[in-house]
Structure 1
Amino acid sequence: MFKLSSTVSQAPISINDSSPAAQASTRLIGFGQTCPQQGCGGASTTLKQLDTRINPDNMCSAGFNASTELCVYSTTSQTACYGDNWQRVGTCARR
Structure 2
Amino acid sequence: MVRGWKSETDGELILLPGVDGKLALVFSTNGNKVKKLDGIIKKLTKSVSNGIFLFPALFWYRLTSIIQFRNSKQTLVNGLYNLYAEKINE
After TM superposition, the score normalised by the length of structure 2 is 0.22
| Greater percentage in helix | 2
Pick the structure with greater CA Rg: 1
